[in-house]
Amino acid sequence: MKYIIVTGGVISGLGKGITTSSIAKILKTRGMKVTAIKIDPYLNYDAGTMNPYQHGEVFVLDDGGEVDLDLGNYERFLDENLTFDHNITTGKIYKTVIERERKGEYLGKTVQIIPHITEEIKRRIKKIGIESGADVTIIEIGGTVGDIESMPFLEAARQLWIEEGFRNVLFVHTTLVPIIDVVGEQKTKPTQHSVKELRSLGIQPDIIIGRAKEKLTTETRRKISLFCNVPYEAVISAPDAKSIYEVPLIFEEQGLGEYIMGKLQLWGENPEWKEWNRFLKNLKNPKDEVTIAIVGKYVHLKDSYISHREALAHVASKLKTKVNMKWIDSEKIEEDGPEILKGAHGILIPGGFGSRGSEGKIMAAKFARENNVPFLGVCFGFQLAVVEFARNVLGYEDANSTELQPSTSAPVIDLLPEQRDVENLGGTMRLGAQKIIIEKGSLAHKIYGKREIEERHRHRYEVNPDYIEEFEKKGLHFSGKDESGTRMEIFELKDHIFYMGSQFHPEFKSRPLRPSPLHLMLVKKAIEYKSQ
Ligand code: GLN
């Protein structure tokens, strides 16, 4: 078993997640079995209760784990499904250790960060490596070296190196190499300091990845090599890339793949980049272009909707069409009206929670329905389109979701029955992969090409079964349901270019070479709409 540990220095937001994903990809193309773990040194048990403005989107896995968005990147790059255990948090570690202490399992000992917390960290890392049968387990440690929060994790990583042997554990450190405008020179001092900090914790990096606008110059690489004590060929550039999917190839060109294989004494196949290259080529040579408006309330932080952004990138390559994303704050629609949506060839309303901005989303759904603009509503977007239809077509002026207006006289979206007695907010929604049965001959059937699918969920509310008949009568057709047939999963509107909604989140399972079918159809219809 081999381990690669990725740390970050100088500042956060260096793209450590993409670096980790790219290294994973490079090794996978050599026939290695690779898995990836994200460590988040916060006390939250998981990402589920956090606002997207904290760390971006909450990603959802097949097993229902609500995790850091980096796991979404790992899944997209590796094209593999990960589990909740692949996201280790301080919260999870402490909870286990304290529970063990309460059971008396420490046999009267004083329970301490070293060794008990570090043991639990290593136990979890090794367990994943073994269970997934990986040749290489890549572990990304969130935060920046020097943070108090990440100390136990770095200490555990150092111990892992001693225990597993230096041929089996590799440290990759990503840092910032800034350019001071007036001089125009790449500055290596921040990197030197951050490596010094890492060394003071007993960790000598094997590879340094320098983030800079441009490639690192020979001089910069020499300096980093000399002062940080790594071989010249182990100093790798991570320049700005047009697409994140280029990063593995940028690393590959610099020999990172061979270097890692050599260091870890791994023997693999010749790397296979054909499909990946074709994906990138199509992405970079579009024949057409469309604009999709994305209406949400967290639009000021693009990472809040990262899986939608990536799903649309996957579609863009598949259709050789540039997809411009126009991010629209739904509160702005409430203030200025839906006219700002004009010019978009398609409208997407992603998931969300709470009433702020929800009326603007309802206005956007109405605009799309009435103006025959291609529309996709996902989860909250699905629910609000149903509310809009109830208000303006069925004539229930006061229709709403009980999430937003508990006293509404027409609760067309209501709490799932099993949610009524739920008290804790964390991890209690209807989560993860669930089966959906699609009606034969429906548009959804045509889109998915099969009658049974599995998509990921994250919700507490659903379409109130009491109103289904009325919706159906007026043309809002539910063509996808859960296995019991009582839970609405997909709607499609008759006599509309494309007006669809899903209670599930198709964006979470979108992969570069297998884009989300619903996003694909949205863009196809947007192209059709544009050419009208
Ligand atoms: N707030 C809605 C619910 O809980 C929608 C959730 C979502 O969009 N993920 O059902």
Q: Which of 244, 272, 300 is the last residue of a domain?
A: 272
pLDDT in tens, 184-193: 889 999 999 9
Residue 272 contacts residue 252 (beta carbons within 8 Å): no
Atom of ligand 1 nearest to the CA of 353: 1
Question: Which comes out higher in pLDDT, residue 299 or 334?
Answer: 334
Clarify whether residues 233 and 354 are in a common domain: no
Q: Indicate whether 415 and 444 sit together in one domain.
A: yes
Indicate the SS3 state at residue 183.
coil
> How much is the mean pLDDT over the chain?
95
Q: Is 279 within the bounds of a domain?
A: no
Indicate the pTM of the whole model.
0.95
How much distance in Å is there from the Cα of 89 to the middle of ligand 1? 24
Q: What is the pLDDT of residue 12?
A: 81
**Model confidence over 310-357: pLDDT tens digits?**
999 999 999 999 999 999 999 999 999 999 999 999 999 999 999 999
Query: What local confidence, expressed as pLDDT, does residue 507 receive?
Result: 98
For residues 211 and 317, membership in a common domain is answered with no
Half-sphere exposure of 400 (CA within 13 A, CB side): 13
Contacts 24+ apart (CB under 8 A), 125-131: 125/3, 125/37, 125/88, 125/156, 125/160, 126/1, 127/85, 128/35, 128/37, 128/85, 128/86, 129/1, 129/3, 129/35, 130/1
* 259 φ, ψ (degrees, to nearest 5): -60, -45
Mutate which of 51, 58, 353 to test ligand 1's pocket (most atoms within 8 Å of Cβ)?
A: 353
Q: Which domain holds residue 394?
A: 284-531
Residues 266 and 289 grouped into a single domain: no
Quote the ligand 1 centre to 354 CA distance (angstroms).
9
pLDDT at 181 over 90: no
Sign of CA dihedral 211, 217, 218, 219: negative
Q: Is 51 domain-assigned? A: yes
Instruction: Please enumerate in sequence order all residues whose Cβ is within 8 A of that of 206, keeping only pairs 6 or more positions apart, or say none.
Output: 170, 171, 172, 230, 234, 263
Q: What is the pLDDT of residues 381-401, one digit of tens each?
A: 999 999 999 999 999 999 999
Residue that finishes a domain, picked among 272, 296, 315: 272
For the chain, the distance separating the N- and C-terminal CA atoms, rounded to the nearest angstrom, is 57
Residue 394 CA to ligand 1 center (angstroms) comes to 23
Q: Do 244 and 305 sit in the same domain of this protein?
A: no
Residues 132 and 101 in one domain: yes
User: Is 277 inside a domain boundary?
Assistant: no
Distance between Cα 119 and ligand 1 center (Å)? 37
How confident is the model over 24-42, as a mean pLDDT? 96
d(CA 70, CA 78): 12
Q: Give the residue, out of 51, 66, 461, 507, with the most ligand 1 atoms within 8 A of its beta carbon, to mutate for a pocket test.
A: 461
pLDDT of res. 302: 81
Q: Are residues 157 and 210 in the same domain?
A: yes
> With bands split at pLDDT 50, 70 and 90, how would you rate the model's confidence at 417?
confident
**Do 388 and 264 share a structural domain?**
no
Same domain assignment for residues 265 and 293: no
User: Over 90: is that where the pLDDT of 424 sits?
Assistant: no
- For residue 177, is it within any domain? yes
Q: Is the pLDDT of residue 522 over 80?
A: yes
Residues designated catalytic = 379, 505, 507
Q: Same domain for 210 and 314?
A: no
Residue nearest to atom 5 of ligand 1 (CA): 380
Is there a domain that residue 34 lies in? Answer: yes
Give yes or no for residue 182 having a pLDDT over 80.
no
User: Is 103 within the bounds of a domain?
Assistant: yes
How many residues make up the chain in this entry?
532
Give yes or no for residue 55 having a pLDDT over 90.
no
Q: What is the reported pLDDT for 504?
A: 98
Q: Which of 294, 358, 380 best tests ligand 1's pocket when mutated (most atoms within 8 Å of CB)?
A: 380
Q: Which of 272, 294, 321 is the last residue of a domain?
A: 272
Q: Is residue 142 part of a domain?
A: yes
In a domain, 55, yes or no: yes
175: domain CATH number is 3.40.50.300
Amino acid symbol at 450:
K
pLDDT of 10: 80
How many angstroms separate the CA atoms of 427 and 353, rounded? Answer: 15
Segment 404-410 shows an average pLDDT of 96
Identify the pLDDT of residue 11: 84
pLDDT digits (tens, 9 = 90+) for 241-277: 999 999 999 999 999 999 999 999 999 999 989 999 9
Q: What is the pLDDT of residues 192-206, one digit of tens each?
A: 999 999 999 999 999
Kindly report the protein residue whose alpha carbon is nearest to atom 6 of ligand 1: 459
Contact 400, 413 (CB under 8 A): yes
**Residue 290 near residue 346 (C-beta atoms within 8 A):** yes
Q: How many domains is the chain partitioned into structurally?
A: 2
Residues having CB closer than 6 A to ligand 1 are 351-353, 379-380, 383, 403, 458-461
The pLDDT of residue 37 is above 80: yes
- Give the pLDDT confidence of 112-148 residue by residue, as tens digits: 999 999 999 999 999 999 999 999 999 999 999 989 9
Residue 415's domain is classified under what CATH number?
A: 3.40.50.880
**Mean per-residue pLDDT, 62-84:** 97
pLDDT band at 54 (very low <50, low <70, confident <90, very high): confident
- Same-domain check for residues 185 and 117: yes
Question: How many angstroms is it from 395 CA to the middle of ligand 1?
Answer: 24
Domain match, 100 and 173 both:
yes
